[in-house]
Structure 1
Amino acid sequence: MRIAVVGATGNVGTAVLRHLSGRAEVDAVLGIARRLPDTSVEPYGSAQWHQADIQSSDVIPELADALRGYDVVIHLAWLIQPNSERSLLRRVNVDGTRHVLEAAARAGIRQAVVASSVGVYSPVEDATPRDETWSTEGVPGSHYSEDKVAQERVLDEFEQQHPDFSIARLRPALVFQRGAGSEIQRYFIGSIAPVQLLQIFRPPVLPLPSGVRAQAVHADDLAAAYAQAALLGAHGAFNICADDLLDGKGLADVISGRSPAAVQVPLPASVVRGLIKAAHRARVLPMDEGWLDLARHVPVMDSGRAREQLDWSPRHTAAQALEELIEGLAAGEGHPSLPLRPRDLQVQDRSELPPTDHLVGEQVDPVLLRHYMADHLAGATAGVNRIKRMAADYVDTPVFPEISEAAEAIRRERGFLIELMKRQGFPRAIGSAAVAWAGERAGRLKPNGRLPLDRSPSTLVLEAEIMLSAVTGKLHGWSTMKDHAEALGVDPGVFQALIDDAEVQREQLETVHRYARHRAFRPARDTFDKTR
């Protein structure tokens, strides 16, 4: 069987690719994503890839071409953040589902497995298990639940219009795995939370909202369910969750590291909701209060149908899956895809670096070289901050993939430069980095012909030009270091690879600039429309 996976780079998509690579029944896998992963690393290397942005109906013809010859589509693509961009979330999550199904039908595919959620169910106030016949009106106050309900209505409508098309809709509980630690922090907890401390200390006292309870499933177990549904040609809804229910005490036990002194301190849900709302409005907390509403009111699911019809059973308990996630949160774990990128700057292959005791040879003045590299590091710091902000500001544009991919590459390269300087014994030049950081932020205050909170059509043009200049300067920096690779103790090929990467980034930023400059100065055109 030939299987296409839409949204193949996230928490669940990565696990699905990992599972499918080990199934003898699967002949080929096509990964589809808005931003492509590092295909030199598994599980991404075992799939073929197609890049597509599913939020626009314009994607249907090209996606249909990519899907031809495949037997089934597993549709996992779902955008959780940014909360403030509700129209963007609806275009990707709800309209995107419709576009994927239409493309599959045009390609001659007659089966899809779609990621729904426990969030589609109507609220309850008890812990009585509910099966798939429970009402699907969603939990008021949760935009995630609202979009999941709208998505299922799309599935209902599509099935009515295509009676020969079979859809299995999986409704999983919370999905955890160690490799999603960084992503979970980024989407829900935020960078300010000192989750790194969980590596050395687990709090024995846990303040939790009263009445809280949760079901969970390990990403690998959920991946097995998706594979079974695809291979068996399943139809209808399936609840997917581990056997155990995590109530307040269970959550406290796991989070505390099974401390005998673990204590849950119940807090009034209304108080916690108010705190979450205030923290979210202050942009301290990425998640909004709707996630608490969802956690408190979704039903406990009965997964008996999946066990019977999919021959599926979980290998991990919910407690084990949560423990893995906590370990991943503490360590900032991730995978080489943009949604799952690790929290910390990392050098992917430390064998490319000189030994930790390497010192610059006598043929090079170490003081001059240190200052030169420090200046490039200061520029890299400003560049990382600027392009990270660009990615956040233009997440709803067609050029977001190019911006975010360049941002991740620049972020990794800065990590390489930091580690290289450290191994040379070069101290960090905090002053110049701080000046560059402050200058980059001050540059955001420049007038652009619009109100301070508005995006000017010309801003993206200028931002792209600034980054193009920065990447060009960085390219020459790598060239200079390549000339002195022997003194630095680094294979010249490493710097050549960085030069090649800079050329790719330049091409990506040229695409961004071309998109923006064609729209920025024409009053009849919207710079931020959703088509190229």
Structure 2
Amino acid sequence: MKVVITGASGNVGTGVLRALAADTEDHEVVGVCRRPPGGSPPFGPVTWHACDLGDESAHKVLDEALRGADAVVHTAWMFQPIRRGNLLHRTNDHGTAAVFEAARRAGVPHVVHTSSIAAYAPAGDQPVNEDWPTTGIPGSVYGTGKSQAEASIARFTADNPDVTVSLVRPTLVAQRAASASFLALFFDPLVPRWLIRLLRDGRIPLLPLPAGLRVQLVHADDVGDAVVRILRRRAGGAFNIAADTLTPADLARVVDARALGVPSGLMRAAVALLWRLRAIRMSPGWFDVGTRSPLVDTTRARTELDWAPRVSSVDCAREQMSGLADGAAGGSAALGRDRLRDDNRTAALT
């Protein structure tokens, strides 16, 4: 297959690149991103096209990249700067529409869109399947954006019945290589790495966490594996992708600490204050994504794709914590700690 991946240098995109490289079939892989990386793995055997999906000229680059493609995997999504809603809308809403329209023009038979469990409405403790309402997490720019994108894609699917459209809805996606970008996206400038190192090394006895928290993680490589299985089968529709469920006690054991349950409302208020003071980049909406996104049932992926996570949620958390402590970066601008530099410059001009 010729597979085009938008956002191929990012967290999910690199997982897809590695999964395609490990596949038994040979593939022609084309990567589309704003700042193409160098030739180190997993970026080497990829033909790169530099493209800002929100730019008016994006269609020219996309038309060239998608020519003769068998599938498009759309993973590109701008997370920050959350305070610049116009920039996020330009990249995420207009960019997603540009990719799907380019696929239609090029006659691409299969489009895979990476959505999120944040597209779902909140639920109780019972895991939800793919039929749960996709109205998004209230108050979350990210959740609302993913919900709106899915609504637009549903209209595209209805208008283009000859195109197979797949939706991948992963939970929180972890990998060591994304750690530096996570520091930039959520924890800078207040949270120092030395504090994270103390936590990783088991030198902080108590770990404050929202009381009653239940969370699933999934490794980027497991998301990539699911995408390749979808491509092989040309499987349409939505697929939840997640590993097992963790409690606060499970998360605390990762760093040899004891969980200290904090009322979720109190912790959210603290996050909101720090965000207003610009001490951290994690907005209250992002806190809600982590605490109010529903648990998901992965039965459809397991039965129809023969998929199962190879990395447990505990191992995901352990790998991510180690990466955060080390400030590990993945060799692309999208996975670096200075990833917001160009975004903020662009925002200042709009």
2:45 counterpart of 1:61? no
SS state at 1:315 partner: coil
Cα deviation code 1:79-109 (max 9, x no counterpart): 0010111111112112211100111111120
More divergent stretch after superposition (59-68 vs 229-238) = 59-68
TM superposition shift of 1:198: 4.0
Larger Rg: 1
TM superposition shift of 1:224: 0.5
Closer, same or farther: CA 298–342 of 1 in aligned 2, 3 Å = closer
Matches within 5 A, 1:110-189: 110-124=109-123, 126-189=124-187
CA distance in 2, matches of 1:390, 1:324: 26
SS state at 2:300 partner: helix
SS state at 2:26 partner: coil
Closer, same or farther: CA 158–46 of 1 in aligned 2, 3 Å = same
Conservation of the 8 A alpha-carbon contact between 2:53 and 2:95? yes
> Which residue type is aligned with residue 319 of structure 1?
V
Closer, same or farther: CA 390–117 of 1 in aligned 2, 3 Å = closer
SS state at 1:217 partner: strand
Closer, same or farther: CA 26–75 of 1 in aligned 2, 3 Å = farther
Conservation of the 8 A alpha-carbon contact between 1:112 and 1:168? yes
Matches within 5 A, 1:76-475: 76-124=75-123, 126-199=124-197, 201-202=201-202, 203-242=204-243, 244-254=244-254, 256=255, 259=256, 262-341=257-336, 391=342, 393-396=344-347
Cα deviation code 1:378-411 (max 9, x no counterpart): xxxxxxxxxx997354224xxxxxxxxxxxxxxx
Cα deviation code 1:352-376 (max 9, x no counterpart): xxxxxxxxxxxxxxxxxxxxxxxxx
More divergent stretch after superposition (263-272 vs 73-82) = 263-272
Conservation of the 8 A alpha-carbon contact between 1:3 and 1:26? no
Closer, same or farther: CA 128–145 of 1 in aligned 2, 3 Å = same
CA distance in 1, matches of 2:78, 2:345: 15
CA distance in 1, matches of 2:247, 2:4: 37
Closer, same or farther: CA 199–276 of 1 in aligned 2, 3 Å = closer
Query: Which runs of structure 1 show a deviation greater than 6 angstroms over 4 or more consecutive aligned residues?
Result: none
CA distance in 2, matches of 1:50, 1:157: 28
> Which residue type is aligned with residue 109 of structure 1?
V
CA distance in 1, matches of 2:234, 2:93: 23
CA distance in 2, matches of 1:9, 1:30: 11
CA distance in 2, matches of 1:213, 1:94: 30
Closer, same or farther: CA 4–121 of 1 in aligned 2, 3 Å = same
CA distance in 1, matches of 2:266, 2:272: 10
Closer, same or farther: CA 34–392 of 1 in aligned 2, 3 Å = closer
Closer, same or farther: CA 172–392 of 1 in aligned 2, 3 Å = closer
Conservation of the 8 A alpha-carbon contact between 1:196 and 1:331? no
> Which residue type is aligned with residue 326 of structure 1?
M
CA distance in 2, matches of 1:326, 1:192: 17
Cα deviation code 1:126-167 (max 9, x no counterpart): 211111011111111111100000110111111122111111
CA distance in 1, matches of 2:61, 2:242: 35
Closer, same or farther: CA 26–153 of 1 in aligned 2, 3 Å = farther
Cα deviation code 1:401-429 (max 9, x no counterpart): xxxxxxxxxxxxxxxxxxxxxxxxxxxxx
More divergent stretch after superposition (69-78 vs 17-26) = 17-26
CA distance in 1, matches of 2:122, 2:341: 38
> Which residue type is aligned with residue 44 of structure 2?
G
Conservation of the 8 A alpha-carbon contact between 1:33 and 1:50? yes
Higher normalized strand content (fraction of residues):
2
TM superposition shift of 1:62: 3.1
More divergent stretch after superposition (13-22 vs 282-291) = 13-22
CA distance in 2, matches of 1:134, 1:294: 16
Conservation of the 8 A alpha-carbon contact between 1:97 and 1:154? no
CA distance in 1, matches of 2:328, 2:61: 34
Q: TM-score, normalised by structure 1?
A: 0.63
TM superposition shift of 1:49: 0.7
2:22 counterpart of 1:71? no
Higher normalized helix content (fraction of residues):
1
TM superposition shift of 1:294: 2.1
Q: TM-score, normalised by structure 2?
A: 0.95
Closer, same or farther: CA 277–155 of 1 in aligned 2, 3 Å = same
CA distance in 2, matches of 1:305, 1:113: 16
Q: Which runs of 5+ in 1 are unaligned?
A: 344-387, 397-454, 456-527
Closer, same or farther: CA 86–21 of 1 in aligned 2, 3 Å = same
Identity %: 37
Conservation of the 8 A alpha-carbon contact between 2:184 and 2:340? no
Cα deviation code 1:439-458 (max 9, x no counterpart): xxxxxxxxxxxxxxxx6xxx
CA distance in 2, matches of 1:293, 1:390: 26
TM superposition shift of 1:339: 1.2
Closer, same or farther: CA 301–322 of 1 in aligned 2, 3 Å = same
TM superposition shift of 1:10: 0.7
CA distance in 2, matches of 1:2, 1:185: 34
SS state at 1:127 partner: coil
Q: Could you say which structure has the greater relative contact order, defined with CA pairs below 8 angstroms and 6 or more residues apart?
A: 2
Closer, same or farther: CA 295–162 of 1 in aligned 2, 3 Å = same
SS state at 2:23 partner: coil
Matches within 5 A, 1:14-53: 14-39=14-39, 41-53=40-52
CA distance in 2, matches of 1:188, 1:341: 13
Q: Which runs of 5+ in 2 are unaligned?
A: none
Conservation of the 8 A alpha-carbon contact between 2:81 and 2:340? no
CA distance in 2, matches of 1:393, 1:299: 32
CA distance in 1, matches of 2:194, 2:172: 22
